Amino acid sequence: MSEKQPLQTPGGPIGQYYLLDKIAQGGMAEIYKGLAYDLHGIRRTVVIKKILPHVAAHREFIDMLVTEAKLAVQLSHGNIAQVYDLGKVGDDYFMVMEYVDGKSVSQIMRRAAQLGETIPISIAIHIAAEAAAGLHYMHSRTDNNGEPLNIIHRDVSPQNLMITEGGTVKIIDFGIAKAASSIEITDVGVVKGKFAYMSPEQASGTPLDSRSDIFSLGIVLFEMLTGRRLFKAKDNQETLRNVRRANVPRPSLYRSETPENLETIILKALSKQREDRYQTGGALRDALVQCLYTVDPSFQNADVERYLDHLFSAETTDSSEEESQTPLLIIDRTQSAILAPAEQPGAQEPPPPQTDDALQFNDHSEWTPVITGIHLNKRRQRIMIAVIASVFIVVLALAFGIWRNYNSRHQIIAIKAPTQQLPGTGTETVTLPETPIIKPPPPPPAEPFGDVVIESTPSGAEIYMDDKSLNVTTPYTLKHLPAESHHRIGLLLKGYKFWDVPVSIHAGGVERLNASLEMNYASLEIITHPAGASVIINGEHVGETPFHEDKIPSGKILDIVIQKPGYLPWQTRLKTEEGHLSELHRNLEHDPKALERPTVIEPSTPPPTVLPHAN
């Protein structure tokens, strides 16, 4: 990349980028709404992300950013915001991307929460399905030889999913996440809010594939549906631990009307093992689309448009006014970092620059053609002043009415002030004005929810509520359960007896359950005929028949041998089952090879007398 030979297009230099409004400031970049002009003077609204100097100072970051940008400019899909250019001015790098006129999913969720609402189920499904379609296109891209490019977004989050006014979903901010992961930046703004949308393998630092994006999208869908954070904790370390555990409760626990097939889709997308997830974005999209039209067969994009109008109707934005604002900055003599000058056909030396080769604040006097018609004329100024004055008067009137209504609805206790004698006179008195004391309003009602903190020894027990598995394990906190409700909490852990207890939820309260799980032993009983046989288990003599043992660990393999002199040995193998009695009953067989000792009769001893049987 050579700074002395900036990129040109056949016929002339690249058009200028004008920076309008600063949209956001992060730890990695400043983001502006800007304008781009082509050779014919046609302008287009774009987003310009200016990489901050301390980030651009990392050579590895820039190399990775250029590599990713070369891939990003090849992506052209209706659900992916286009990356147009990666440029450089002086030491400053910037990316030029498609401007999406709409709201992010994070804005939508935040606004819905402010209004005390949850996002309609059909709209949440639609957003996730379109995002899955964009991810599938991205993941399945191949090079000219048909080899997969293995493109992964790595930062699928509510902030990076935009919804246009027409209801189309756009995945934004592609091409920077992988570069960001190549360096260590201590500025917390770089990663703030992102750990909570990682996959378990991403949080563990293991190699990623496209299924990591599937998991991240599953988190977004869960949070849109339930209105609550899935893995977010009080600090980043705890958040990462939550992600690695991947304990995902059933969404119906927090939104009872969640369709069963949608819950199945979400839990599959959020499987801890990537082999258990949807293997492609296309498979997830197909499942969501099928679910959408069972939930709402008449759904259309206009439903999203109407919902956004409902959420943000209070916000008034004059887009034409925004576009006509005086540019804050201008980027001139841009050099593309996507392709080196040697890769450009017909590159020519550009005409002399009109400004310095840097990001500059624009001097209005130098850009008269841009400013013409932009500043408000005096008539518009007068109209604006009149409108502001009218609004101010209306606000004052409303405030006065609220104040009067407040006084009329609250009890006022008047205290009679004592009279005072005027100095120099013996009769004249003056009464001080009565001082009203406003009775304070009653305290707000207690929060109509309660929590249940569940722990067990040992941990890792599957949690059941009302005989239904919640798909999470101990330790875990069930939050925002309706007050005055009654449930039965159960714990199931292999090798241990099922534990359960009734729980009542109180407003604003926290119930704590700490269960000491009892081993669910297996039992063994061995009976032989004749009795008195030796019992040998796994090579160790443990007793004689009849034999009984109650506390044998479940799932254990037992090699059992039964021996008795004069009888054939007998052996078997069995696996113990928790809570199960294994019974072995055996008639021992005589050993034909055993020699009986002959009876030795001493000479002095008379032969035994055989008595006849009585008839």
Task: Tell me the pLDDT tens digit for each residue of 409-426.
Answer: 444 334 344 444 444 444
Higher pLDDT, 122 or 319: 122
Boundary (domain end) residue, out of 416, 438, 460? 438
User: Are 494 and 534 in the same domain?
Assistant: no
Longest Cα–Cα distance in the chain: 157
pLDDT for 486: 86
- Quick check: 572 pLDDT over 60? yes
Q: What is the mean pLDDT of residues 526-550?
A: 90
For residue 335, the domain's CATH number is: 3.30.200.20
pLDDT tens digits, residue range 254-295? 999 999 999 999 999 999 999 999 999 999 999 999 999 999
171 and 298 co-located in one domain = yes
**What 3-state DSSP class applies to 540?**
strand
Decide if 190 contacts 51 (C-beta within 8 A): no
Domain-embedded: residue 278: yes
Instruction: Write the CATH number for 170.
Output: 1.10.510.10
- Same domain? 300 vs 399: no
Inform me whether the pLDDT recorded for 240 exceeds 60.
yes
What average pLDDT does range 239-253 have in this prediction? Answer: 92
Q: Indicate if 303 and 170 belong to the same structural domain.
A: yes
User: Is residue 596 included in any domain, yes or no?
Assistant: no
Mean pLDDT of 212-216: 96
- Res 28: pLDDT: 74
Side-chain half-sphere CA neighbours of 156 within 13 A: 31
> Are residues 141 and 289 both part of a single domain?
yes
The verdict on residue 612 lying in a domain is no
Q: How many domains does the chain have?
A: 5
Of 30-44, 286-300, 402-416, 470-484, the least confident: 402-416
How long a stretch of residues is the chain?
A: 615
- Tell me which amino acid residue 48 is: I
Does 496 fall in a domain? yes
pLDDT confidence of residue 109: 95
* pLDDT at residue 222, rounded to an integer: 97
- The rounded percent of the chain whose pLDDT value lies above 90 is 30
Q: What is the pLDDT of residue 607?
A: 54
Contact 476, 462 (CB under 8 A): no
Please tell me the predicted confidence (pLDDT) of residue 180.
52
Q: Which of 171, 99, 90, 165 is nearest to 128 (CA)?
A: 171
Q: Element (H or E) spanning 34, and its range? A: strand 29-37
Q: In what order do the strands lie in the sheet with 449-457?
A: 476-482, 449-457, 510-516
- 481 and 387: one domain? no
Q: What is the pLDDT of residue 483?
A: 82
User: CATH number for the domain including 487?
Assistant: 2.60.40.1120
Judged against a pLDDT cut of 70, whether residue 433 lies above it is answered with no
Q: What's the angle, vertex CA 260, arms to CA 254 and CA 262, rounded to 5?
A: 85
Average pLDDT over residues 349-355: 36
Is this model's pTM higher than 0.95 or not? no
SS3 68: helix
Per-residue pLDDT averaged across 511-524, rounded? 88
* Residue ending a domain, choose from 438, 464, 479: 438
Residue 604 lies in a domain: no
3-state secondary structure of 458: coil
User: Under a CB-based contact definition with an 8 Å cutoff, are residues 489 and 464 in contact?
Assistant: yes
**In terms of domains, do 341 and 387 share one?**
no
Burial status of residue 284 (CB atoms within 10 A of its CB: 0-12, 13-18, 19 or more)? buried
Within-domain flag for 605: no
- Say if residue 19 is in the same domain as residue 69: yes
pLDDT for 362 equals 34
47: buried, middle or exposed (CB in 10 Å: 19+, 13-18, 0-12)? buried
* Domain annotation covers residue 598: no
Residue 476 lies in a domain: yes
Confidence of residue 381 (pLDDT cuts 50, 70, 90): low
Higher pLDDT, 358 or 116: 116
Expressed as residue numbers, the domain containing 160 is: 103-311
Q: What is the pLDDT at residue 430?
A: 42
Which residues are CB-contacts of 451 (< 8 A; sequence separation ≥ 6)?
477, 478, 479, 480, 481, 509, 510, 511
The region of weakest confidence among 84-93, 105-114, 339-348 is: 339-348
Q: What is the pLDDT of residue 520?
A: 81
Give buried/exposed letters for 528-547 (b at 16+ CB in 10 A, else e).
Answer: beeeebbbbbeeeeeebbeb
| 221 CB-side CA count, 13 A | 32
Give the chain's mean pLDDT.
75
d(CA 472, CA 508) in angstroms, rounded, equals 23
pLDDT at 376: 36
Q: Do residue 465 and residue 412 come from a single domain?
A: no
**Among 495, 499, 583, 576, which Cα is nearest to 545's?**
583
The Cα-based distances of 126 to 111, 173, 179, 402, 590 in angstroms read 18, 21, 30, 42, 77
Centre a 10 Å sphere on the Cβ of residue 66 and count the other Cβ atoms it contains: 20
pLDDT given at position 261: 94
Across 59-66, average pLDDT: 77
User: Are residues 418 and 280 both part of a single domain?
Assistant: no
Asked if 341 and 383 sit in the same domain, the reply is: no
Residue 484 has a pLDDT of 81
Q: Are 219 and 287 within one domain? A: yes
- Most confident residue range from 188-192, 507-511, 575-579: 507-511
455-459, 471-475, 497-501, 601-605: least confidently modelled range: 601-605
Taking only Cα atoms into account, the Rg of the chain, rounded to an integer number of angstroms, comes to 39
83-87, 332-336, 539-543: range with highest mean pLDDT: 539-543
pLDDT score of 120 more than 80? yes
Q: What mean pLDDT do residues 108-121 have? A: 93
